[in-house]
Amino acid sequence: MRKYVVMGVQGSGKGTQSGLLSKAFDLVHISVGDIFRWHVQHHTKLGAQVRRIMAAGELVGDDLVEAVVGDRLRMHDWNYGFVIDGFPRNGRQAEFFLESYDIDGVIHLDLPDEEVRRRVLNRRLCTRCGMDYNLIADRPEVEGRCDVCGGDLVTRADDTPEALAARLREYRSKTRPVLDIFRRKEYVVNVDARPDPDTVQREIRKQLGLTSG
């Protein structure tokens, strides 16, 4: 059983790296942001509660986040373990998490602010299948269309310069202290998130001592 947390500022590749890692090792990828986006897209009651907060780049309240994560983990569909990204994002969430789960490692994807801005402002998302594109590194073949399902590509509501600035502030003030908590327990591996996704993934596996897929 392997349980990992992936942390990093927006645009650092949390979703991509969690996806690659979970696929290779049969782990379940849990993305709290994706769960919320699903609810917003499907106009659920939860979606209505979080839509404005997300669009402003602010953090959703802890009670709501903990309920969503708790429900998701209680599904116990993770026979070989899980990779959770986007959680915990502050000290209280970290304590809640560590009370119930022992973790094997925290992957910190490190990215300088100017690279964060460049990536995030060029990010596009498929409205139909959720596939993520970047107009710098992996452009869709047809502009504005998803290569996989043909859906419309849009900018995430929270990928604006204003929302990004808010998220960077939130990250610095609230999420960095979480890393410090995990560092004290010696869980954290630091990975340079600037290279291409495969190189970053290789480095993650090397640092975690994971050899086979």
Q: Which residues are marked as active site?
A: 14, 89, 123, 156, 167
In whole angstroms, the minimum distance from the beta carbon of 32 to ligand AMP comes to: 4
Cβ proximity of 74 and 178 under 8 Å: no
Closest CA to 25 of 72, 75, 70, 78: 78
Buried b (16+ CB within 10 A) or exposed e, 40-57: beeeeebbeebbeebeeb
Q: Which residue among 7, 9, 10, 109 contacts ligand AMP (CB under 6 A)? A: 10
Q: Which residue has the tokens 């990975």?
A: 191
In the window 132-151, what residues touch ligand AMP (CB under 6 A)?
none
Is 57 a binder of ligand AMP (CB under 6 A)? yes
Q: Which is nearer to ligand AMP, 161 or 213 (CB)?
A: 161
Tell me how far apart the alpha carbons of residues 7 and 21 are, in angstroms, rounded to a whole number.
Answer: 14
In whole angstroms, the minimum distance from the beta carbon of 126 to ligand AMP comes to: 15
In what helix (H) or strand (E) does residue 132 lie, and over which residues does it extend? strand 132-134
Cis-peptide, bond into residue 177, ω within 30° of zero: no
Q: Which stretch binds ligand AMP (CB under 6 A): 18-26, 52-60, 75-83, 130-138?
A: 52-60
Is 167 a binder of ligand AMP (CB under 6 A)? yes
In whole angstroms, the minimum distance from the beta carbon of 36 to ligand AMP comes to: 5
Is 93 a binder of ligand AMP (CB under 6 A)? yes
Is 65 a binder of ligand AMP (CB under 6 A)? yes
Q: Which is nearer to ligand AMP, 54 or 191 (CB)?
A: 54
Buried b (16+ CB within 10 A) or exposed e, 111-150: beeeebbebbebbbbbeeebbebbeeeeebeeeeebeeee
Tell me how far apart the alpha carbons of residues 5 and 18 are, in angstroms, rounded to a whole number.
Answer: 9
Tell me how far apart the alpha carbons of residues 197 and 203 are, in angstroms, rounded to a whole number.
Answer: 10
Q: Which residue among 9, 30, 59, 178 contacts ligand AMP (CB under 6 A)? A: 59
Q: Which is nearer to ligand AMP, 25 or 38 (CB)?
A: 38
Q: Which residues bind ligand AMP (CB under 6 A)?
A: 10, 32-33, 36, 53-54, 57-60, 65, 86-87, 89, 93, 158, 167
